[in-house]
């Protein structure tokens, strides 16, 4: 009986010791979005973005889902600043300017759950313009990357052969 108790205590001690060891989550600085978990990094839900005046008529006239990818820095109050459009689904119809204006409306939380500030972080965001069907139309920001270093590569879900790339618009320069 005493031997069983000792074995159980040793097993418990070993189990506790294994759990107490730091676990390598594999998290790297190249994408810190996972730190927010299911709650996400938005201070204001993206569904509350004011879409009336943000989508130009030339974009609405496409009657199709449009998108633009931007790289931005997180400024004070979780606002996206210094945004540059890196890709747009249709060049020359005002999508670029609309994406930058929309990015200015996005508000992220001020800090990670552990208290580390977001100010100065770099973010990659895809703005989805859902203009299929009747008004009200939606603009959905999809955060794809968050890290301390600037983005030097393009993060895009489509094969380059299927999309048209354009230079960054003057607003984003």
Residue ranges per domain, the chain?
A: 44-172
Which of the listed ranges 2-11, 22-31, 134-143, 158-167 does the model predict with the highest average pLDDT? 134-143
- Per the prediction, the chain carries an average pLDDT of 75
For 115-125, how does the pLDDT look when each residue is reduced to its tens digit (9 = 90+)?
A: 999 999 999 99
Cα-Cα-Cα-Cα dihedral of 56, 66, 163, 106, to 10°?
90
Size (the chain), residues: 173
Least confident of 100-114, 117-131, 147-161: 147-161
| Confidence class for position 37, pLDDT limits 50, 70, 90 | confident
| pLDDT given at position 161 | 40
Task: Annotate 27-47 with DSSP letters as a single string.
Answer: --TT--GGGGGGG-SBSS-GG
The end-to-end CA distance of the chain, in Å, is: 76
Q: Is the pTM of this model over 0.85?
A: no
Please choose, from the candidates 74, 81, 66, the residue with its C-alpha nearest in 3D space to the C-alpha of residue 166.
Answer: 66
Least confident of 47-51, 112-116, 152-156: 152-156
What is the layout of strands, in order, in the sheet containing 138-147? 80-88, 66-74, 122-130, 138-147
Is the predicted pLDDT of residue 10 greater than 50, yes or no? no
136, two tokens: 């009200």
């Amino acid at each position: 009986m005493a031997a069983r108790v000792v074995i159980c205590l040793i097993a418990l001690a070993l189990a506790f010791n294994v759990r107490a060891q730091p676990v390598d989550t594999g998290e790297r600085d190249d994408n810190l979005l996972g730190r927010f978990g299911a709650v996400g990094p938005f201070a204001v839900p993206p569904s509350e973005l004011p879409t009336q005046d943000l989508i130009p008529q030339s974009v609405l006239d496409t009657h199709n889902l449009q998108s633009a990818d931007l790289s931005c820095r997180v400024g004070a109050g979780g606002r996206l600043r210094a945004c540059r459009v890196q890709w747009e689904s249709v060049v020359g119809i005002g999508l670029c300017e609309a994406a930058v204006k929309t990015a200015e409306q996005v508000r992220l939380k001020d800090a990670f759950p552990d208290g580390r500030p977001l100010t100065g972080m770099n973010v990659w965001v895809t703005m989805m313009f859902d203009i299929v069907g009747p008004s009200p139309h939606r603009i959905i920001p999809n955060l794809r990357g968050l890290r301390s270093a600037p983005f030097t590569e393009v993060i895009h879900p489509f094969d380059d052969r299927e999309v048209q790339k354009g230079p960054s618009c003057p607003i984003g320069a």
